[in-house]
Amino acid sequence: MTEKVFSYEEAAAFVAKSAAKLARIPHTSERVPLARSAGRVLARPLRADRDQPPFARSTRDGFACRADEASSHAPLKIAGATRAGATPSGPLARGSAWEIMTGAPVPRGADAVVMLEHVDAADGFVRLLPPRKIDTGENIVARGAQARKGELLLPAGTLIGAAQIALAATCGSATVEVYRRPRVAILATGDELVPVNKSPASGQIRNSNAPMLAAMVAEHGGEPWVLPIAADTAKALDAALAKILAPGAQADLLLITGGVSAGKFDLVEPALARIGARFHFTGVRIQPGKPTVFGEIHRGGLPSANRSAGLLTGSRAGVLARTKHLPIFGLPGNPVSSAVTFLLFAAPVLRALSGSRDAEPRFALARLAADVKAKPGLTRFLPAACTFAGSVPEVALVSWQGSGDIAAMARANCFLVVPEDTDRIRAGETVRILLA
């Protein structure tokens, strides 16, 4: 098989382009209660159902007045009082003021609100204390200042969080239309693996990648579908792939871990090739995660031999209404490699499939706490701990025993990026981190 090894930048650019293409394919949607919409992606734009705010609103406790009258420091007659929730009152007579509470509608005729702290109020009159003056519009948010009725507030493709829920609630959306979650098949491969609820014999280890990736998939907007562990045999891999591609399985993305290195029992690529997979790249110059594979399987256009064997006939996408291809990632089996390559390459594709416009991996800048040495030639993503307690985020490597060190990864909260041509970064320098 011909190898296609990309630099990190080439692989990231290729993935970004693929993700953008997937994001443009129409997605299917469903309606969910607003209270359960956090983490979902809006499928229809949210528009203001009325002006926001719906009435000129006072932002202070105080007295609604005419700014020019108040600024003259003449005593103004207190004509009435309005609390939050009251219907707008007025008109405000000349030479008078109206007691008002934060959030209450400003009476017609008033053009400013003087703060309670800035006045002298006695015997039914109120006076702005000199030398203070007040401008027209002060402490009032005009009707429609935030949005006009019908105005676009959030476009489709917005990830819903607490603030978006607040906005939807303001607009009276008790339910919201969201994209369906992409269904992500997760297949761990390896003769050495046993499920978490089985005792490993000597030489065996527990399958930690599947639950880890299931958690990452859920976090990035997908619905994990964890398959039973596949042995390192052509037969086991063919059977697992047939199941994933069976009619009705409706996978939107396939993640396979293990079996993509150059070893004698690394049989994933040949198994994918047997069902007509096309490989975009079969390696990336990164550490950890060098043997990462990205490709796609054509859902319908297989050689007839495969079709007659029952593979792929009728295979349909889940969330994408029209797509001929199932994107696939082969992630190296070492847990840190699987995690890093998921974040760098699989997560952007998953987020695009989820309909989110925010598909890019998240990098941030931090100050390096201690010198880091590396061998040039690979872009490195090293497990690190970033603290946010100081004025600037500060990052330090966690000590690790290589890409199998799950304990180190569990002490980390990000990955320090060491560029391909760099052999040393000094303490105090600004560095990039990949947020976990």
Kindly indicate which of the ranges 65-73, 77-85, 332-340, 379-387 contains the residues binding ligand AMP, using the contact rule CB under 6 A.
332-340
The whole-angstrom separation of Cα 182 and Cα 223 is 6
Our CB check for ligand AMP shows the closer of 146 and 233 to be: 233
Cα distances (angstroms) measured from residue 379 to each of 10, 60, 303, 416, 418: 12, 54, 38, 10, 6
Q: How far is the CB of 264 from ligand AMP (least distance, A)?
A: 10
Q: How far is the CB of 197 from Mg ion (least distance, A)?
A: 21
Q: Which residue's C-beta sits nearest to ligand AMP?
A: 333
258 is a site residue for Mg ion (CB under 5 A): yes
Q: DSSP class of residue 342?
A: I
- Determine the residue type at 231: A
Q: Which of 211, 212, 293 is nearest to 254 (CA)?
A: 293
332 is a site residue for Mg ion (CB under 5 A): no
β-strand partners of 113: 64
Our CB check for ligand AMP shows the closer of 192 and 420 to be: 192
- Determine the residue type at 249: A
- Phi, psi (deg, nearest 5) at residue 202: -60, 135
Q: Which residues of 168-203 are buried (b: 16+ CB within 10 A; e: fewer)?
A: bebbebeebbbbbbbbbbbbbbbebbeeeeeeeeee
240 is a site residue for ligand AMP (CB under 6 A): no
188 is a site residue for ligand AMP (CB under 6 A): yes
The whole-angstrom separation of Cα 115 and Cα 105 is 15
Q: What does the per-residue mask of binding to ligand AMP show for 254-293, with x meaning CB under 6 A?
A: ---xxxxx-x------------------------------
205 is a site residue for ligand AMP (CB under 6 A): yes
Task: Give the SS3 label for residue 42.
Answer: strand
The whole-angstrom separation of Cα 252 and Cα 174 is 29
330 is a site residue for ligand AMP (CB under 6 A): no
- Look-up: residue for tokens 């303490």? 427
Q: Which of positions 101-130 make contact with ligand AMP (CB under 6 A)?
A: none
Q: How far is the CB of 324 from Mg ion (least distance, A)?
A: 30
- Tell me which of ligand AMP, Mg ion, none is bound by residue 207, counting a contact when its beta carbon lies within the kind-specific cut-off of 5 to 8 angstroms: ligand AMP
Our CB check for ligand AMP shows the closer of 264 and 322 to be: 264
Our CB check for ligand AMP shows the closer of 226 and 368 to be: 226
Our CB check for ligand AMP shows the closer of 290 and 367 to be: 290
Residues near Mg ion, by CB under 5 A: 190, 258-259, 333
Residues forming contacts to ligand AMP in the complex (CB under 6 A) are 188, 190, 192-193, 205, 207-210, 257-261, 263, 332-335, 404
